[in-house]
């Protein structure tokens, strides 16, 4: 903080006002914290009798991007859906163990899954805008959760969310047009704007770029990079390169087990487990 103030004074030759100091503090880069958003203890998921996850223990940091990687059927998407109780919607799915979000068990009876999903937003593989206008797509969440009292407030939320999702400049003159008319990449950013509009703390992404071209993927990755300062992001991806580019932590899943969880750089340069090594280098295990 001191350094930021000194630079500021140095650059304009004036002492900043208290208001400016507060603004600088607000926009100062997040200091490195190891605060934990989720604590997962012995998490198991069953589909009928089949155990899809075998007792996962893992802490997810409260900011930054955590990537979940592994071959198809390894349990990574199942694990992702644990965090906003999306598995509740699957018949015969059952979750055991404990998932604490800021120390609170998200599977306890006091937790309303609908409210939880406002705190823990989700973006899917295929963009799924509602068959409504761009504006209404983003305004949908704030409306049903009663987050905006006046039209003006709602306009602000819509604009802010679209700006944050990096879409505002492309759609500001056609907010009344249907969201489904946008390109794939734009639709995916619209869905992210819709998730952001209800001020979530966490964003879950299940292969968000797999249906996008390289330019749209790059824009999405740039967006993830910006969002990671403010949100806890968990991303499932099949692209090693994408996991390496966007995440700070990476977890490798294999046959329902969490095999290795470490800093992304370590996973991709010097993984400890042979199974991780074989998977990320494309070897037969």
Partner 1 sequence: MNEHIVSSFDDVMSELSSELIRMGALVREQLIGALKALKRRDENLAKRIRKNDKQVDAINDDIEERVMSILALRQPLAVDLRETIAALKIARELERIGDLARNTAKRSRVIIEQEPLEGMEEIFKMGYVAVKIVEDVMQAFENHDVEKAIEVWNADEEIDEYCNTVFTQLLSGMMIDNSNINACSQMTFVAKNLERVGDHATNIAESINYVLTGDKIEERRPKGDKTSSTIVKI
Residues 232-261 that bind partner 1 (CB under 8 A): 240-241, 244
The smaller minimum CB distance to partner 1, of residues 131 and 282, is found at 282
283 binds partner 1, rule: CB under 8 A? yes
| Least CB distance to partner 1 at residue 64 (A) | 21
| Least CB distance to partner 1 at residue 237 (A) | 14
| Least CB distance to partner 1 at residue 235 (A) | 18
Helix (H, G, I), strand (E, B) or coil at 121: strand
The smaller minimum CB distance to partner 1, of residues 38 and 261, is found at 261
Query: Phi and psi (nearest 5°) for 245?
Result: -75, -40
180 φψ region: left (φ > 0), alpha (ψ -120 to 50), beta (else):
alpha
70 binds partner 1, rule: CB under 8 A? no
Q: Compute CA distances 224 → 81, 95, 228, 275, whole Å.
A: 19, 29, 6, 28
H or E segment to which residue 261 belongs: strand 257-263
Helix (H, G, I), strand (E, B) or coil at 59: strand
268 binds partner 1, rule: CB under 8 A? yes
The smaller minimum CB distance to partner 1, of residues 79 and 268, is found at 268
| Least CB distance to partner 1 at residue 124 (A) | 26
Cβ atoms of residues 123 and 155 within 8 Å: no
- Cβ neighbours of 157 (radius 10 Å): 22
List, in order, residues 6 or more apart from 97 with CB less than 8 Å away.
40, 41, 42, 43, 44, 55, 56
The smaller minimum CB distance to partner 1, of residues 7 and 269, is found at 269
| Least CB distance to partner 1 at residue 278 (A) | 5
Distance CA 130, CA 125 (A): 15
The smaller minimum CB distance to partner 1, of residues 27 and 284, is found at 284
71 binds partner 1, rule: CB under 8 A? no
Helix (H, G, I), strand (E, B) or coil at 51: strand
The smaller minimum CB distance to partner 1, of residues 33 and 281, is found at 281
Q: For residue 279, give the nearest of 226, 231, 243 by alpha carbon.
A: 243
Per rule CB under 8 A, count of chain residues that contact partner 1 = 16
Residue among 118, 120, 190, 280 that touches partner 1 (CB under 8 A): 280
- Cβ neighbours of 74 (radius 10 Å): 22
Residues 184-243 that bind partner 1 (CB under 8 A): 240-241
73 binds partner 1, rule: CB under 8 A? no
**Is the CA virtual torsion 134, 135, 141, 144 positive or negative?**
negative
The smaller minimum CB distance to partner 1, of residues 156 and 269, is found at 269
Q: State the residues that interact with partner 1 by CB under 8 A.
A: 240-241, 244, 268-271, 276-278, 280-285
């Amino acid at each position: 903080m001191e350094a930021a103030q000194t630079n500021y004074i140095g650059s304009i030759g004036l002492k900043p006002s208290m208001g400016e100091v507060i603004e600088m503090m607000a926009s100062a880069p997040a200091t490195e914290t190891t605060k934990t958003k989720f604590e997962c203890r012995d998490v198991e998921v069953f589909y009928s009798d089949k155990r899809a996850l075998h007792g996962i223990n893992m802490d997810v940091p409260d900011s930054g991007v955590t990537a979940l990687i592994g071959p198809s059927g390894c349990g990574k998407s199942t694990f992702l859906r644990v965090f906003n109780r999306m598995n509740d919607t699957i018949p015969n799915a059952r979750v055991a163990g404990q998932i604490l979000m800021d120390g609170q068990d998200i599977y306890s009876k006091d937790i309303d899954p609908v409210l939880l999903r406002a705190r823990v937003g989700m973006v899917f593989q295929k963009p799924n805008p509602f068959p409504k206008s761009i504006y209404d797509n983003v305004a949908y969440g704030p409306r049903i959760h009663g987050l905006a009292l006046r039209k003006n407030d709602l306009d602000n939320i819509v604009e802010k969310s679209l700006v944050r999702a990096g879409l505002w400049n492309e759609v500001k003159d056609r907010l009344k047009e249907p969201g489904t008319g946008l390109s794939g990449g734009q639709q995916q950013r619209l869905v992210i704007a819709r998730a952001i509009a209800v001020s979530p703390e966490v964003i879950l992404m299940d292969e968000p770029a797999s249906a996008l071209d390289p330019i749209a993927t790059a824009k999405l990755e740039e967006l993830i990079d910006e969002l990671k300062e403010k949100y806890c992001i968990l991303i499932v991806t099949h692209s090693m390169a994408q996991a390496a580019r966007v995440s700070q932590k990476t977890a490798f899943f294999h046959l329902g087990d969490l095999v290795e969880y470490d800093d992304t750089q370590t996973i991709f340069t010097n993984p400890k487990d042979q199974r991780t090594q074989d998977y990320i280098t494309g070897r037969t295990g």
